Amino acid sequence: MAKSKFEYVRNFETDDACLPNCWVVVRVDGRSFHRFAEHHGFRKPNDDRALHLMNKCAQTVMQELKDIAIAYGQSDEYSFVFRKQSNWFKRRSSKFMTHVVSQFASSYVFYWKDYFEDQPLLYPPGFDGRVVLYPSDQNLKDYLSWRQADCHINNLYNTVFWSLVQKSGLTPVQAQKRLQGTLAGDKNEILFSEFNINYNNEPLIYRKGTVLVWQKVNQVIRKKIKIPQETDEKEVEVTRMKNIPASLHCDIIGQQFWDQYPEILTDDS
């Protein structure tokens, strides 16, 4: 078929293929979630419904899209790591980013009611996305460590801050002043001496965030089979091996995690 004279405009599309041999990280982050959390009555400092909804969306992204080796989420953000050798959409950066963000955002709306049963969704939430390439395994580990350290720092701060406001009756401004210049040890001490909270006993999902890794599980499904010489179909149970994105709330900064799950860095199938 002859090409139309308009075809040349295709050449204006720029090549945005990600550099080969690099880890491709796509991070999504809720747009103005400070406001969104207020409008939807998120519990402070952590809302389990919101965290589990985020995890569900991320699991959906991992299942629907190709080549994601690991994902990490906390607060209103999630990072997805595509395998070094992934050739999905010829490694086009815009494809990686837009597919992750749109699948995540539509899942957030789709699954909202399963997590926020008594809280209607008041307006459509948005998410931003970015793509960052990491050339070495160490860079990737450091990236994930950076996000988990961020989770810890924010959660420790928020846990003390909201204790001061909710339990000691300080205004947000007073609580902020009280915490100005304090180190992690000081915050732990305030929690322990004033609120009888041992920070280390706070739920892991708050302190560590959520890591999603592929895990093989046996799944029992019911299947209808036709038996020769019989007219009726018979229902039988069959066990199938299935790969699912399993959630962990563990430390990923130390080496132990990577020793336990070596296939995350090595598996390029």
Which residues of this chain interact with ligand DGT, rule CB under 6 A? 29-34, 37, 42-44, 46-47, 50-51, 75-76
What phi-psi label fits residue 29: left (phi over 0), alpha (psi between -120 and 50 degrees) or beta?
Answer: beta
131 backbone dihedrals φ, ψ, rounded to 5°? -120, 130
Q: Does 16 bind Mg ion (CB under 5 A)?
A: no
Nearer to ligand DGT, 129 or 245 (CB): 129
> Residue 34 CB, nearest distance to ligand DGT (Å)?
3
Using DSSP, state whether 69 is helix, strand or coil: strand
3-state helix, strand, coil in the chain (%, to 5): 45, 25, 30
Rounded-to-integer distance, Cα 18 and Cα 93, Å? 6
Neighbouring CB atoms inside 10 A of 54's CB total 25
Question: Shortest gap between Cβ of 58 and Mg ion (angstroms)?
Answer: 14
Distances 196 to 101, 184, 193 between C-alpha atoms, Å? 41, 16, 6
Mark the segment that binds Mg ion (CB under 5 A) among 22-30, 173-181, 216-224, 259-267.
22-30
Quick check: 67 binds Mg ion (CB under 5 A)?
A: no
- At its nearest, how many Å lie between Mg ion and the CB of residue 128? 8
Question: In the set 49, 62, 70, 76, which binds Mg ion (CB under 5 A)?
Answer: 76
54 vs 67: CA distance, rounded Å: 20
Q: How far is the CB of 150 from ligand DGT (least distance, A)?
A: 10
Q: How far is the CB of 74 from Mg ion (least distance, A)?
A: 8
Tokens of 123: 């307006």
77 touches Mg ion (CB under 5 A): yes
Q: Which segment (27-35, 87-95, 171-179, 228-236) binds Mg ion by CB under 5 A? A: 27-35
Q: Name the token pair of 146.
A: 């950076």
Decide which of Mg ion, ligand DGT, none touches 50; Cβ closer than 5 to 8 Å per partner kind: ligand DGT
Residues that bind Mg ion (CB under 5 A): 29-30, 33, 75-77
